[in-house]
Structure 1
Amino acid sequence: MEQNKPDTGSSTAHLKQVLGLPTAILLVAGIMIGSGVFKKIVPMSQTLNSETYILLAWIIAGIITMFGAFTYAGLATLTTQTGGVYEYLRLIYGNFISFLFGWTIFTIVGSGAIAALSFVFAQSVNTLVPLPNPLAAFENISIGESIFPFADSGIKLLAVFTIIILTWVNYRGINKAGILNNIVTTAKILGMLLLIISGLLFTGHPVVASTTLKASANHHPEGVALFSGLFGAMLSALWAYDGWANITFITGEIRNPKRNIPLAIIGGVGIAMTLYVLLNYAYMKVLPVSQLALLGSNKIAAAEVAGIIMGKTGSVIIALLIMVCTFGALNGCIISYPRVYFRMAQENVFFKKAAKIHPAFSTPHIALFYSAIWSIILVCSGTFDQITNLVIFASYAFFALATWGLVKMKRNGRITTKVIGYPVIPFIILFFCVALVINTLITQTEASLIGLLLILSGAPFYWYFKKQYGEVSDQQE
């Protein structure tokens, strides 16, 4: 199909394929490894009360993620355009469905992740170096008695400043952002290995819960309760695995993308899955599941475990590790998500200026600017926690569409290359996605319906862009 020519800001400006496979693998791992793996074992322990089931939830979630890599490996043969999953959906279903995906990335998934990661990073800094609260006098001012923009002002200001700094680094070139990612991701992997080894070598006596608590812990869910509980635990694990597909968004800036995108996802997911399973096993070697289940929502499991092993020094190390992990994941998100808005603008379904490419740095600088602005608004509003609860539901709904798209493209001959595990793996993923979405609708009905409404809220904007910038072709290439 003949594509609309983007207004790049320069007749010669274009995105450059400069990132190699090692950087791509570390980018996948760097985006995935945020703060989730340090916290999620607490709700998982409360739901399952079983070391075996908790590890099983991490392993199944990792396998599903790896199956996703095989699926996207097949879809990656459709195009070398930047945009990744957005572009796959556009080629399969046309502009409207792909726009809803991109709109969800902009309003919920991408901007919400950037806001949440920047806030958690600032919180981690605050635990080590207490931040001032310059707007404390205004913290009770609210919008609709639900949004308090001046609450936690010191943390929010640092979060905003971090987004601005990393956006500036990305503005200056994806090579610079890639180098920063490699350094930070290497540091976080080494830090996690230190915690894993310390936990596995721990020879002290694990903390034992009271008789009442142990009796409660010995009650394991069965039947439907076990199925629902395992899905709930996998939902927590999948939040920690989330971000593995982000590498597809920067397809146009990776060398030999049809080969390297699948390898990067498989390599990055493999690294994360190994670290996650070992780290959670190390947690439970130091603290029994019954004790982990007692930790409140304001407690970080990794910090408690490190404190038992290394005392106060361990808690400081974990705070530093979470800082590094969230900073690296934040940088990876700022690299990847704006590329979706850039591609949408090229197709006339986003603000047109987002299609501009910087003539000197070869970056989608306006798309980076839009991403930063909306993410900063979410930080200041404090609504990103609620938004991040909608991420998995939205992501896996579109994951199901992309997987069915692979089946569709294979059947009509648009994808002729061999896809690992086809057709078994795509149908396993479809079953899993449908089951997860239905389970989430049942167990988190309100959040799921809000997520669905936010996705559909893109419809009037689609028609606005269509009217503003002219007809968009829904033809498939």
Structure 2
Amino acid sequence: MLTTRHATAMVVGIIIGSGIFLVPREMMAAAGSSSMVYAVWIVGGLLSLFGAMSYAELAAMKPRVGGEYAFLHDAYGPLTAFLYTWTWTTIAKPASIASIAAALMRVLGNFHTFAFLNTPAFAHLAWSQIAAILATWLITLLNVVSTRDSANLQTVLTWLKISIIVVVAVVCFSAIHTGSLHNFASHYNAARGGFAGFMVALIAALWAYDGWSDVTQMAGEVREPQRALPLALIGGVATVGLLYMLTNAAIQYVLPAATIAVSDRPTTDALLRIAGPLGAGLVAIGMAISIGSTFIGSSLSGARVPFAAAQDRLFPAALAAIHPRFRTPYASLILQAVLSSLLLLALGRFQALFSLAIFSEWLFYALTTAAVFVFRFREPNTPRPYRVTGYPFVPAAFIAAALVLLVFSFHDQPTASSYGLGVILLGIPIHYLAKSRAD
């Protein structure tokens, strides 16, 4: 069984991936000023915290394997649960894992030893795609062999990444001859600006915060979940928010807004300016460790969704198989690795993989959070070890923000959003076809 420490480390470890090291550029290019970027970080952090608080009530009330799948099934019935599982299994989670693998290869490619990753292998494949697929299968093997060992390794890597983030911040703020408080008042005049700029920056920030919900999928494997999951969700998101604000402040202390807005790797450039190649190397190592921690946690939790659906006979029964020796859902883990590998072969590019997942994820975030209202109305007397502070405002604010984000995403990225919506709708006839055959 996993402990509160494991669950909290999973929340922090999954959330903090490559986002904090990369998105300051997108945020500054969209928002244009330090004050607006901080407003976006605060809004994104509060929205994520509101979502985590809502999920904490659901997870403490119904601590079952599958997390969102279980909440959606109980709240809306098998069709909605199937559509979530179908979307999660075929697109959202494989695309997420593939994007993590692609990001890891992009970071490793900065090291001289791994420079070959940036070169073609054969046909239309790059070595980075092959290495990303290999990494996906190595992580999958680890998760098949032992859930607890995976969680222990993920916990260690999480503490390492937190330590490196703190070190990076200390180094930046110690560079009194390089940094300047005047940078916080600087602007990027070519920024998109306005509401559209704020929303683009918010999407980038929410991507950096994304992953807080994954721990609920492990609810059935956490000791004392009624206590552990609220602590992990709320404490984990709050910790991440503080670390993100600290890192962003450190970067802006060293670099002016205009430099951040055009830098592919703002954190690396800040340390390069202060400490030369040694500082840039520290950031690269930190990014690799950070992404590795996210990789393990995301893969570990993701396979629990089709596993739970298969147990309820909404998905093929084979996906409910548990390894006779290791007692892990190996069939679901293997399917997840296969689909992630296929996406890496077909797309390979980090941004394309990420865009594939974002629309469907936020649609189901909104539906799951709305389940708080459904259960409050339908099951008023069911014990709730944790109740959302600020109900009904907190879950309602999260749902409203998720819907605004969905509308803006559809307007700003119509192709990716349409593809995501198409995959979800395709699940409807598949569900009824499978149901008719079962009958």
How many Å separate the matches in 2 of 1:437 and 1:137?
38
The structure-2 alpha-carbon separation of the partners of 1:67 and 1:39, relative to structure 1 and needing over 3 Å to count, comes to same
- 1:326 paired residue number: 291
Q: Deviation of residue 385 (structure 1)?
A: 3.2
Residue 183 of structure 2 corresponds to residue 217 of structure 1: no
Which residue does the alignment assign to 1:308?
273
Match of 1:286 in 2: 254
1:191 aligns with 2:164: yes
Deviations 1:433-472 (A, max 9, x none): 121111222222222212111222222332343245x25x
| Cα separation, partners in 2 of 1:453 and 1:376, compared to 1, 3 Å | same
| Residues 207, 291 of structure 1: 8 Å contact kept | no
Partner Cα distance (1:263, 1:184) in 2 = 20
* Correspondence 1:126-275 to 2 at 5 A: 126-128=109-111, 129-132=113-116, 136=120, 138-139=122-123, 148=124, 150=125, 152=126, 154-206=127-179, 217-218=188-189, 226-275=194-243
Distance 1:189 1:279 in 2: 11
CA positional deviation for 1:288: 0.8
Aligned to 1:437: 406
Secondary structure at 2:109 match in 1: helix
Q: Does residue 25 in structure 1 map to residue 5 in structure 2?
A: no
AA of the residue aligned to 2:424: I
Q: Which runs of 5+ in 2 are unaligned?
A: none
What SS class does the counterpart of residue 130 from structure 1 fall into? helix
CA displacement at 1:167 relative to structure 2:
0.9
Residues 78, 88 of structure 1: 8 Å contact kept: no
Q: Which position in structure 2 is the counterpart of 1:449? A: 418
Q: Following TM superposition, by how much is the alpha carbon of 1:306 offset from its aligned partner in structure 2, in angstroms?
A: 1.1
Distance, in Å, in 2 between the alignment partners of 1:318 and 1:193 is 11
Contact in 1 for aligned 2:109/2:118 (Cα 8 Å): no
- Residue identity opposite 1:74 in structure 2: E
Query: 1:397 & 1:77 partners in 2: Cα distance?
Result: 22
**Match of residue 276, structure 1, among 235, 240, 244:** 244
State the partner residue of 2:347. 382
8 Å CA contact retained: 2:140, 2:299: yes
Instruction: Note the aligned Cα RMSD (angstroms).
Output: 2.3
Check 1:390–1:164 CA distance in 2 against 1; reply closer, same or farther (3 A cut). closer
Q: For 2:231 and 2:289, locate their aligned partners in 1 and report how far apart those are by CA, in whole Å.
A: 25
Give, in whole Å, the separation in 2 of the partners of 1:134 and 1:235.
28
Listed one character per residue, the Cα deviations across residues 144-189 of structure 1 (whole Å, up to 9, x for unaligned) are xxxx4x2x1x212221111111111111121110111111111111
1:419 equivalenced with 2:392 (yes/no): no
Give the Cα–Cα distance (whole angstroms) in 2 for the partners of residues 371 and 88 of structure 1.
21
Rate the CA distance shift 1:171–1:46 in 2: closer, same or farther, 3 A. same
Structure 2: distance between partners of 1:347 and 1:137? 43
Letter paired with 2:393: V
Cα distance between partner residues in 2 of 1:204 and 1:460 = 64
CA offset at residue 131 of structure 1? 4.7
Of 111-120 and 380-389, more deviation after overlay is shown by 380-389
User: Would you tell me which structure has more helix in proportion to its own residues?
Assistant: 2
Q: Is the 8 A contact 1:62 1:273 kept in 2?
A: yes
Asked if the contact 1:184/1:324 (under 8 Å) is kept, the reply is yes
Residues 262-295 of structure 1: per-residue CA shift (max 9 Å, x gap): 1111111112111111101111110011111122
Mapped pair 1:400 → 2:366? yes
**1:387-408 CA deviation, whole Å, 9 max, x = no partner?**
3114332222111111222112
Does the residue aligned with 1:358 lie in a helix, a strand or coil? coil
Give, in angstroms, the shift of residue 360 of structure 1. 2.1
Structure 2 Cα separation of the partners of residues 300 and 398 of structure 1: 31
Rounded Cα–Cα distance in structure 1 between residues aligned with 2:247 and 2:186 = 26
Q: Secondary structure at the match of 2:314?
A: coil
Alignment of 1:340-351 (within 5 A): 340-351=305-316
Deviation at 1:227, TM superposition (A): 2.2
**What is the aligned partner in structure 1 of residue 430 from structure 2?**
461
How many angstroms apart in 2 are the aligned matches of 1:443 and 1:243?
23
One-letter amino acid of the counterpart of residue 332, structure 2: A
1:352-404 per-residue CA deviation (whole Å, 9 max, x = no partner) reads 21101122211101111111111111112225632311433222211111122
1:93-150: CA deviations, max 9, x gaps?
01111111112211222111111111221222222123547994743xxxxxxxx4x2
Deviates most, 160-169 or 129-138: 129-138
Q: Corresponding residue for 2:50?
A: 67
Following the alignment from structure 2 to structure 1, what is the Cα–Cα distance between the partners of residues 388 and 196? 31
- Inter-partner Cα distance in structure 1 for 2:177 and 2:23: 24
- What code does the residue aligned with 1:393 have? F
> What displacement does 1:344 show?
1.2
CA 215–268 in structure 1, closer or farther in 2 if over 3 Å, else same: closer
Structure 1 contact 410–416 (Cα < 8 Å) conserved: no
Gaps of 5+ in 1: 1-17, 140-147, 472-477
Partners in 2 of 1:329 and 1:137 — Cα distance? 27
Spell out, residue by residue over 1:407-440, the C-alpha distance to the aligned partner (whole angstroms, 9 max, x if none).
1211223455333211111111122112111122
Provide the rounded CA distance (Å) in 1 between the counterparts of 2:95 and 2:9: 22
Range with bigger deviation, 383-392 or 247-256: 383-392
Give the drift of 1:327.
Answer: 0.9
> CA contact under 8 A between 1:348 and 1:466: conserved in structure 2?
no
Given the two structures, how large is their TM-score scaled by the length of structure 1?
0.86
Q: What count of residue pairs does the alignment treat as equivalent?
A: 432
Q: Is the 8 A contact 1:235 1:392 kept in 2?
A: no
Assess, with a 3 A threshold, how the Cα gap between structure 1 residues 239 and 249 changes in structure 2: closer, same or farther. same
